[in-house]
A = this chain, B = another copy of it.
Amino acid sequence: MQRMTRQRTAVADALSTVEDFRSAQQLHELLRDQGHGIGLATVYRTLQALAEAGVVDVLRTADGESVYRRCERREHHHHLVCRTCGATVEIDGPAVESWADRIAASHGFTDITHTVELFGTCAACAAASGQDDVATGG
């Protein structure tokens, strides 16, 4: 049975106050800062449970760290993540889904899953770095 403990509540709360993908370690630190005495192992376990329950989404950063985020929509979707500030947009892509199925089927593959994640620079960050260019450029 899943019990509702102080720690699990804290992790769930922390996830709702955060908009970006965060690593277990970041969340652990955040919780510690907020005064919650919680063990790192517990944060990992809780995040894993939440991920399995489909409550949070997981993806892996370029350096292999797992990052978690509470998503609005429970159904299958993808993410557009700013690689500078971490801002995340949930997107669905029916076109991609059908494309994936079609491609896979045409090669005789079945039981398809796919990973599709987009990374880019959001408008705010582009403006920020753009200003640098302008400043240095003239």
| Residues of A in contact with B (beta carbons under 8 Å apart) | 60, 64, 66, 80, 82, 89, 91, 93, 95-96, 99-100, 103-104, 107-123, 126
Contacts and interface: CB of A to CB of B under 8 A. Distances in A.
Nearest to A114: B118
Contacts of A114: 116-119
Contact of A108 (B64, B113, B115, B122): B122
A57 B73 CA distance: 32
A121 B111 contact: yes
18 contacts: A60-B60, A64-B66, A80-B104, A89-B109, A93-B103, A95-B95, A100-B118, A103-B118, A107-B122, A108-B126, A109-B121, A110-B120, A111-B120, A111-B126, A113-B119, A114-B117, A115-B115, A115-B117
